[in-house]
C-alpha cells in the first residue's frame, strides 16, 4: 500500500498585534488575518524546493497526506501529491493554504470581527483574487521562502497562479495553470449569480446572520448548479444516462426518479455539512471579479508583460466552464511576451472536474515540467 | 407595416359531462379537461391545410396575431406565422393549443379539482408528453380535422411533434422538428431537478398550496437557471461580455455588478408575473420523462417504426441543451425506417434560443418544406 506523506498544519497570523494588516482591493484593510496552511516534504537547505499549490472554490489547505497522529482524510489532490507522485514530497516542499474568505481555518466571513466581537458574516470585506494572493505572499515571507520553484492550481487555483505570476514575477520560478482562465466568462458569472441568489433568497440566510441554523436549501441549490457545470454532458451520459434510482418505473410525483437527481441531491446535502454559505458568496464573487486583462488596460497580453517564469498550461477537451479556448488565450498572451510556455489540451470526458480526476495524464505532464525545473 | 393576422381563441372542453375524460400514463383519468387553443387563417373546404404548432415549456396558445378586437401582444413565434410568412396564414389554417399541465387556459395544476372544489395544485396528476399529445388529438377530432398537413415545434414542442408522429402516424402529414430530442439528456434532467428543488424549497411554495403569495424566489431561480441553458457561451460573450451594469467599478458587495446578472434578474422577475410555479414543476417533469426509445424497447429506431410522414429536422450549432447530436440521432433513426428526412444544422451563436430568433434561415427552411407538401 502506498504511503501517504505526513502533512504539517500551521497557522500564520498577522495584523492586529502591531504588524501590518492586509490591504484589500476594496480599499479596506483586513486585520487580524490568520492563514491556515499545510506543508508536506522538507524544505531544502537553500530553500529552493518549495512548491505552492492553490486550491479551488471549495478546497482547503489539506491537499494531501495524513497528520502526524495518523488522522486526516484524503486530501483534495491526493493522487497528485506524495512520495513518488507528480508533486513528489521526497523532492519538494509542498505548501497549500486555505484562502482568505474561506471557511477552513483562514480568516473569512465566519471569523470574529474584532470591532464587534461577533462573526463578520456580511460585514466581512469583499475580497479579490489579488487580495487572496497578497495574503499568500505574506505567508511566503513568514516561511522565509524567496522564490517558489513552482506554483500550481486548477480552476480558481489557476486564477491565483496567474495572479502570482503577474503580481510577484520575481517570486515565481514556474507556473502550472490547469483548467483555468484569465477572466471568468459571463456564463460563469451567470451561474455564480444564480448560486448566490439561491443562498441569499433562502429565508434562513437572514442577511448573512444565520448562526447554527444555516441556509442549507439555498447552499445546496448553489452546489447542485455548480456540480452540473463541473461535469460534461458526456460524463453525465456515461455516469448516469437516464437510469432510474432504486426504482423500475417513473414515480409520477416530484420525488427523485433518476440517478443524476440522486447524485445532485447527495452532493448538495454533503456540501452543506462542510461549507459555509457566506464563504460561498465571497469566493464566488472573487471569481467573478477576476479579470487579469484589467491590469493590462483591457489587454491580457499587456497584463502578462511582467511575467518571467515558464508556464505549463493545461485544459481538458470537455471542460465547458473553463473551456480550452480560455487556456489558449492565456498561452497566446504569454507567447506575445516571449514567455516559455507548454500547452496541453487533454482529451477527457470528465468536464471541468477532470483536473481532479485525470491524474495519469495530468501527473505525467506535471512530473515532466517539474523535473525540467530542477530542484 | 406588416399586418398581423387575426387569432381566434377557442376553448374545447371534454370529460365530466358524460364524455370520456383523458386517460393518462400514470393510470389516472383527467376530467374535465379544457383545452385553450388559437387558430389563424382559414380551414379550406377539404380540411387539408391545417398545421399544428406546438409550444415549448413556457409558451402558450398565442403563437401569433392580434385578436378581433385589436388587442393581443405579440405571439411567441410572430416572426414565423402570418400572411406571407413561413407558416403563411393566407395558405394554412394554423392551430396552437396550450398544453395540459400549463397555466394559460388549459387544464393544469391551478385548475379547480372537481372532487374538492379547490385548485388541484399538487393533487394534479403528473402528465407526460404522450398525455399532452393525447389531449391535442381530442382537440383535432373536435375541429374535425383528419390529418394535419404538418405539425411543427421547437424544444419541448419538438418532443410533442415526434410523439405525434409515433402515436398517430395516419394523422400526421409531415413533421417539422426543431432543436429537440427523442429523450432529454441527463444534463437536461439535472437542470430541471435544480429548478424544481428551488421552487419546492421556497417556503412560500407551501407544498404547492400557495394561493396569491407565490414562491417567486424559487420560481425566479428556476427561470434564471433555464435562461443560462437557453443561451450559448458565445451569445453571452456578444450580448454581455463582462460589462458592468450602470456602474464604472465593482460594487464590492453582493448587489448586481454585471450586465448578465441584471439580465437574469430581469428575466426571473418578469417570469414570476406570468407563470405558475406548479405548472413549471409539471411541465419540466414531462420533459424529463420524455424518452421515445421506451416505445422501441430502448431503441429509438424501433420507436419510429410506425412513422410514415416526411420530416425536416433542424438543430442549431451552439445549442448545448438540445445539441445537434440529438437531432442527428433522430435523423438516423428515421432513415433506418426509410422515412424521407431533411436535416439542417443551422450555424448560429444563439444557443437553444435560436429556434425563437433565427427567423430568416429557419423561415426559409420551413417555407420550402411546407411548399413541397402542397396544400
Domain A189-284 has CATH 1.10.1740.110: yes
- What pLDDT, on the 0 to 100 scale, is given for residue A1? 44
Which of B194, B228, B257 lies at the smallest CB-CB distance from A187?
B228
- Superfamily of B8-184+291-373 according to CATH: Alpha/Beta hydrolase fold, catalytic domain (3.40.50.1820)
- What pLDDT, on the 0 to 100 scale, is given for residue B17? 79
DSSP reduced 3-state for A85: coil
Torsion sign over Cα A345, A351, A355, A356: negative
Residues of chain B with CATH 1.10.1740.110: 189-284
Interval B234-286: pLDDT, tens: 999 999 999 999 999 999 999 999 999 999 999 999 999 999 999 999 999 99
DSSP reduced 3-state for B344: strand
Pairwise CA distance, residues B100 & B31, whole Å? 11
Work out the burial of residue B361: count CB atoms within 10 Å of its CB; fewer than 13 is exposed, 13-18 middle, 19 or more buried.
middle
Q: What is the mean pLDDT of residues A246-274?
A: 96
List chain B residues with CB under 8 Å of A25. 252
List chain B residues with CB under 8 Å of A240. 186
Work out the burial of residue B98: count CB atoms within 10 Å of its CB; fewer than 13 is exposed, 13-18 middle, 19 or more buried.
buried
Would you state the cell numbers that stand for residue A369, as one nine-digit string? Answer: 515540467
Closest CA of chain B from A261, distance in Å = 6
Instruction: Say if residues B236 and B267 touch (Cβ distance below 8 Å).
Output: no
Place of cell 476594496: A26
Residues of chain A with CATH 3.40.50.1820: 8-184+291-373
Q: Do A224 and B26 touch (CB under 8 A)?
A: no
Inter-chain contacts counted by CB atoms under 8 A, chains A and B? 150
Closest CA of chain A from B276, distance in Å = 16
Strand A175-178 versus strand A311-316 pairing type: parallel
Which of B203, B236, B252 lies at the smallest CB-CB distance from A26?
B252
Mutate to test the interface with B, among A127, A190, A222 (most CBs of B within 10 A): A190
Place of cell 439580465: B263
ipTM of the complex: 0.96
Q: Around Cβ B244, how many Cβ atoms within 10 Å? A: 16
Which of B197, B233, B250 lies at the smallest CB-CB distance from A289?
B250
Interval B101-134: pLDDT, tens: 999 999 999 999 999 999 999 999 999 999 999 9
Q: What is the mean pLDDT of residues B146-158?
A: 98
Per-residue confidence at B2, pLDDT binned at 50, 70, 90?
A: low
Give Cα B78 to chain centroid, integer Å: 15
Place of cell 456580511: A122
Which of A200, A202, A225 lies at the smallest CB-CB distance from B194?
A225
Per-residue confidence at B1, pLDDT binned at 50, 70, 90?
A: very low
Strands (E) located in B255-298: none
Instruction: Say if residues A206 and A181 touch (Cβ distance below 8 Å).
Output: no
Q: What is the mean pLDDT of residues A7-29?
A: 95
Place of cell 408575473: B273
Q: Do B260 and A197 touch (CB under 8 A)?
A: no
A237-247 in b/e form (b: 16+ CB < 10 A) is bebbebebbee
Work out the burial of residue B247: count CB atoms within 10 Å of its CB; fewer than 13 is exposed, 13-18 middle, 19 or more buried.
exposed
- What pLDDT, on the 0 to 100 scale, is given for residue A2? 60
Interval A19-61: pLDDT, tens: 899 999 999 999 999 999 999 999 999 999 999 999 999 999 9
Closest CA of chain B from A283, distance in Å = 11
Q: Do B240 and A186 touch (CB under 8 A)?
A: yes
List chain B residues with CB under 8 Å of A187. 228, 231, 233, 236
Among B55, B62, B326, B352, which one carries the catalytic annotation? B352
Instruction: Say if residues A195 and A226 touch (Cβ distance below 8 Å).
Output: yes
Instruction: Say if residues A224 and B251 touch (Cβ distance below 8 Å).
Output: no
Instruction: Say if residues B48 and B375 touch (Cβ distance below 8 Å).
Output: yes
Q: Do A323 and B233 touch (CB under 8 A)?
A: yes
Residue numbers of A annotated as active site:
155, 319, 352
Which of A221, A285, A323 lies at the smallest CB-CB distance from B197?
A221
- What pLDDT, on the 0 to 100 scale, is given for residue B49? 97
Q: Do A189 and B125 touch (CB under 8 A)?
A: no
Q: Do B323 and A253 touch (CB under 8 A)?
A: no
Would you state the cell numbers that stand for residue B61, as one nine-digit string? Answer: 396558445
Q: Do A189 and B289 touch (CB under 8 A)?
A: no
Q: What is the mean pLDDT of residues A220-230?
A: 98
- What pLDDT, on the 0 to 100 scale, is given for residue B375? 52
Q: What is the mean pLDDT of residues A256-264?
A: 98
Q: Do A258 and B185 touch (CB under 8 A)?
A: no
Amino acid at each position: 500500500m502506498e504511503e501517504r506523506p505526513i502533512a504539517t498544519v500551521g497557522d500564520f497570523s498577522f495584523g492586529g498585534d502591531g504588524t501590518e494588516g492586509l490591504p484589500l482591493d476594496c480599499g479596506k484593510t483586513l486585520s487580524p488575518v490568520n492563514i491556515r496552511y499545510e506543508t508536506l516534504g522538507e524544505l531544502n537547505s537553500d530553500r529552493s524546493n518549495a512548491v505552492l499549490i492553490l486550491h479551488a472554490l471549495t478546497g482547503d489547505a489539506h491537499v494531501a497526506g495524513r497528520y502526524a497522529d495518523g488522522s486526516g482524510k484524503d486530501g483534495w489532490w491526493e493522487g497528485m501529491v506524495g512520495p513518488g507522485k507528480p508533486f513528489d514530497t521526497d523532492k519538494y516542499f509542498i505548501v497549500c493554504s486555505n484562502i482568505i474568505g474561506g471557511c477552513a481555518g483562514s480568516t473569512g466571513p465566519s471569523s470574529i470581527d474584532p470591532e464587534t466581537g461577533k462573526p463578520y458574516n456580511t460585514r466581512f470585506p469583499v475580497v479579490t483574487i489579488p487580495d487572496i494572493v497578497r495574503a499568500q505572499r505574506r505567508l511566503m515571507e513568514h516561511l522565509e521562502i524567496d522564490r517558489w520553484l513552482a506554483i500550481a492550481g486548477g480552476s480558481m487555483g489557476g486564477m491565483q497562479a496567474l495572479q502570482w505570476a503577474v503580481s510577484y514575477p520575481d517570486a515565481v520560478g514556474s507556473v502550472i495553470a490547469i483548467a483555468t482562465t484569465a477572466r471568468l466568462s459571463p456564463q460563469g458569472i451567470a451561474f455564480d449569480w444564480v448560486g448566490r441568489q439561491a443562498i441569499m433568497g433562502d429565508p434562513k440566510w437572514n442577511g448573512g446572520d444565520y448562526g447554527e441554523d444555516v441556509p442549507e436549501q439555498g447552499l445546496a441549490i448553489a452546489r447542485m448548479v455548480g456540480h452540473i457545470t463541473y461535469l460534461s454532458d458526456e460524463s453525465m451520459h456515461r455516469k448516469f444516462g437516464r437510469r432510474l434510482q432504486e426504482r423500475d418505473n417513473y414515480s409520477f410525483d416530484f420525488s427523485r426518479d433518476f440517478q443524476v437527481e440522486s447524485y445532485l441531491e447527495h452532493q448538495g446535502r454533503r456540501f452543506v455539512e462542510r461549507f459555509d454559505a457566506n464563504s460561498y458568496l465571497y469566493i464566488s464573487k472573487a471569481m467573478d471579479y477576476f479579470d487579469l486583462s484589467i491590469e493590462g488596460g483591457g489587454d491580457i497580453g499587456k497584463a502578462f508583460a511582467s511575467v518571467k517564469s515558464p508556464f505549463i498550461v493545461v485544459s481538458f477537451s470537455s471542460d465547458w466552464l473553463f473551456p480550452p479556448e480560455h487556456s489558449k488565450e492565456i498561452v497566446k498572451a504569454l507567447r506575445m511576451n516571449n514567455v516559455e510556455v507548454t500547452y496541453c489540451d487533454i482529451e477527457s470526458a470528465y468536464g471541468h472536474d477532470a483536473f481532479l480526476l485525470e491524474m495519469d495524464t495530468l501527473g505525467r505532464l506535471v512530473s515532466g515540467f517539474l523535473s525540467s525545473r530542477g530542484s
